Structure 1
Amino acid sequence: MIEIKADAATRERYVQSVIDVWQAADSGQEMRGRQWYRTAHEVADMMTEGDVRTGAGLLAALSPQTAWPLNVELAKSAYETGQPTGHLGDALAKAAKILAGADPAEVLPMDRKTGHFYRCILDPSDADAVCIDRHAHDIAVGEEYGARDRGLGAKGRYALIAHVYREAAQRLGELPSTVQSVTWVVWRDRLVGTSTRGTEFNKQV
């Protein structure tokens, strides 16, 4: 795992790594990345008949280690039946609280991945939120970690990588979430031909 208290040179290297991947995007990759959270917002809106907050909360709560198509399926089913299923106990408990009317911002860990994923879906124009999953981490450090532990459950390590994306976004004149989603698409496309990973947006700690 990377050091939480990275020095200035290391932080700069991480920022430049993100910018390098951003600059490698072709027009199609950039378009797909730019549309990602807007599309997710529309999904949250449609599946809850306009209750975007609940939809975004369910999608975020049920996202860990779940590919996007299944994530959507589980969230839709939870909303329609009132009973979240198909995931681990902690995720199901969070989803149940959201279904019962709890504010997702009081249920989800807002300083970690699922909280930021919720914010990005709820408001794709959020100027601060940035979802740091395993791929976002690997992009920043410039190395595919595979099955190795990235330690993103640690508040400080998550904050470090999130700061890196915000700094890269500021230099590029973009939203942090846009930089994350576009670079994710580029990174995923690089991995597709060299591994057994699927091609869908897979949010995983």
Structure 2
Amino acid sequence: MISVTESEETHERYVRNIIATWRSATSDQMQRGRTWYRSAHELASAIADGDARTGAGVIAALSANKSWPENTRLARRVCETGVLSGHFQDALTKAAKIMAGMDPTDVLPMERKTGMFFRAIADPSDPEAVVIDRHAHDIAVGEIHGQQDRGLSSARRYNLLAHCYREAARRLGELPSTVQSVTWVVHTERIAGTGTRGPRR
């Protein structure tokens, strides 16, 4: 287990790491990161006949351990054809419940990555939503941890890192989801071809 402590010194170091990654973004990376969730929102609306909440819920339900192209391919197929396959049963069951009319907030773990991913896509202006995946973790701690367990299933650890992104966003005058998405673009492009896994959510 990778250590994530709650000392003020460690917290401040994580915030500084996030801000440093933000400031290293090229203009192109900044533009792509800034528009990422808005583009995802438009996609969610398109695949669910204008119902962005349903589309976002299905995308989020099917996001774990999938690249974005694969995630969206599966979500589009579910929304357009009703075919549920290509993922773990738990993810497929959640997607089926959302397609059947259940509100995503009643289906997804709202205080974890999947629920936050839904929130950020469903409402890109959400002032609190921030997705902490393995890349967001590594940006904050300042190290690439490959296949090691980051402990993000722990609410305490997830919330600590989410708080760091919210604090970085406050200092930058940005939304937490924007800071996360811009730094995610920067980081995943840095590690591309380094032997680590690709940019999966």
Question: What is the TM-score normalised by the length of structure 1?
Answer: 0.95
Distance (whole Å) between structure 2 residues aligned to residue 167 and residue 85 of structure 1: 39
1:56-89, Cα deviation, whole Å (9 max, x unpaired): 0000000000001111111111112223211001
Separation in structure 2 between the aligned mates of residue 195 and residue 177 of structure 1, nearest angstrom = 27
Partner in structure 2 of residue 17 of structure 1: 17
Other structure's SS at 1:202 match: coil
Measure, in 2, the Cα distance between the counterparts of 1:7 and 1:135: 22
Q: How does 1:95-106 map to 2 (within 5 A)?
A: 95-106=95-106
Q: Would you say 1:154 and 2:154 are equivalent positions?
A: yes
Structure 1 alignment gaps of length 5 or more: none
Corresponding residue of 2:200: 202
- The answer to whether the Cα contact below 8 Å between 2:98 and 2:104 also exists between their aligned partners in 1 is yes
Quote how far apart the aligned CAs of 1:191 are.
0.5
Letter in 1 for 2:175: L
Alignment-mate amino acid for residue 29 of structure 1: Q
Q: Is the 8 A contact 2:117 2:131 kept in 1?
A: yes
Letter in 1 for 2:89: G
Secondary structure at 2:91 match in 1: helix
How far off its partner does 1:196 sit? 5.8
Q: CA deviation at 1:130?
A: 0.3
Partners of 1:43 and 1:12 in 2: CA distance? 36
- How far off its partner does 1:5 sit? 4.8
State how far apart, in whole Å, the 1-side matches of 2:112 and 2:196 are: 27
- Asked if 1:64 is matched to 2:61, the reply is no
CA contact (8 A) 1:15 1:165 kept: yes
Q: CA RMSD in A?
A: 1.2
Cα distance per residue 1:131-157 (max 9 Å; x no partner) = 110000000000001000001011111
5 Å-filtered alignment, 1:104-183, equals 104-183=104-183
AA matched with 2:143: E
CA distance in 1, matches of 2:110, 2:178: 19
Q: Is the 8 A contact 1:4 1:156 kept in 2?
A: no
Measure, in 2, the Cα distance between the counterparts of 1:181 and 1:4.
Answer: 21
The corresponding residue for 2:48 is 48
Shift of 1:192: 1.2
Q: Which residue identity is paired with 1:26? A: T
Q: Work out the number of aligned pairs and report it.
A: 201
How far has the Cα of 1:49 moved from its partner?
1.4
The sequence identity of aligned pairs, in percent, is 60
Deviates more, 1:188-197 or 1:143-152: 188-197
Distance 1:33 1:4, change over 3 A: same
